Chain A
């Protein structure tokens, strides 16, 4: 089902962030959402996720069972291990723990990293855990807010390789400042600042 945004408006105090924004995000495709800072990309994701109420307009096509989201910040419970952060949001299934282990290993998180709380992790490690959490969460709609920010080139490449198959067939909004991200996911492109 397409994610359809119609005439969306949102202002904070007197500052208008979205003024009649409309767009259809096609079902099963990744759309790279681009634009200068402050043009409303993160606000759009928050409105879709239901974390903010729009001042006007409609959003349709958000799945009933919830959506997966990677926030601009990592938002990981600091006392949990990487696997704990994922188990906290993933329903218990026979293969859950094996999938979590495989995902973390693929993202280069193994050995000591599996037993430490995420508060002891570097920023890049936490980013990868947050990415794994969003991508393993079984929702047809995925919102990713600058998912590769702060990763070095090699880690970014492995994170992209990890994400590509997991995004296949899902509707995803990928907020990014890097044009290479759109190419990596064969994504449609949307510029929100009209430039």
Chain B
């Protein structure tokens, strides 16, 4: 039998789970308990044709990406400092371990006291992403071959050449993996924060209302929108990281 292409295999796997979903929904027979794929897609199609959908999507997207970007920058900067000064690494270690293990809900409830609910998802995406990017970057820095660093020092390589010939190729895989994982985490935690904080005009508010009014097709449609948005962000991020990897070539 001819071997199927990876794309086709992925499509077939997705189709299989859609079929399982449809069968389950048919078996349950109550859209309020389990909306079918057809009902979900129909609701999503109705939603995307409204301006409110795009306003909510942009609101949540903007906040989550802001939190993600700030955490990525801060995480990388702190890891660079920690890679250079052991004291910084020791000092940050318990704080970041605590940030990794504190439940998102605890962060959200505490953060509601400090910041207005409109800014909540920025802060939550930040605190969830920061330790992941920090750990990934620190791990990447530790992959840099010290013998190549010595070579770069002896030949007085400029900062830019050193970065793209020595540092980036060693560190990038680990940093890229941390960023790829954390963009999904930013979406999950950011939306969870919105559901608790209910800022007006956010996706979280829409999910909350769907729950209150038992509008299961709405809940599923908004969830699908979140999945698509998160996947699109991850794809764009991976494309950007691929471009970044190309500048290693001298």
A65 to chain B: closest residue by CB: B156
Contact B250 A87 (CB under 8 A): yes
What is the size, in residues, of chain B's interface with A at 8 Å between Cβ atoms?
16
Contact A137 B155 (CB under 8 A): yes
Counting CB contacts under 8 A, is B48 at the interface? Answer: no
Counting CB contacts under 8 A, is B124 at the interface? Answer: no
Report which of A73, A88, A89 forms a contact with B147, defined as CB distance below 8 A: A73
What A residues does B154 contact at CB under 8 A? 49-51, 66-67, 69
Contact A88 B156 (CB under 8 A): no
Q: A residues near B, CB below 8 A? A: 49-51, 65-69, 71, 73, 75, 77-80, 84, 87-89, 133, 137
What A residues does B150 contact at CB under 8 A? 51, 71, 75
Q: How far is the CA of A71 from the CA of B154 in the complex (A)?
A: 10
Counting CB contacts under 8 A, is B249 at the interface? Answer: yes
Q: How far is the CA of A179 from the CA of B153 in the complex (A)?
A: 31
Contact B166 A66 (CB under 8 A): no
* A-contact 0/1 string along B140-178, CB 8 Å cutoff: 000000011011011111000100011001000000000
Counting CB contacts under 8 A, is B205 at the interface? Answer: no
Contact A79 B147 (CB under 8 A): no
Q: How far is the CA of A89 from the CA of B150 in the complex (A)?
A: 13
Q: How far is the CA of A75 from the CA of B147 in the complex (A)?
A: 7
Report which of B147, B156, B250 forms a contact with A66, defined as CB distance below 8 A: B156
Q: How far is the CA of A71 from the CA of B148 in the complex (A)?
A: 10
Contact A68 B169 (CB under 8 A): no
Contact A89 B248 (CB under 8 A): no
Q: How far is the CA of A79 from the CA of B165 in the complex (A)?
A: 8
Closest approach, in angstroms, between the C-beta of B30 and any C-beta of chain A? 57
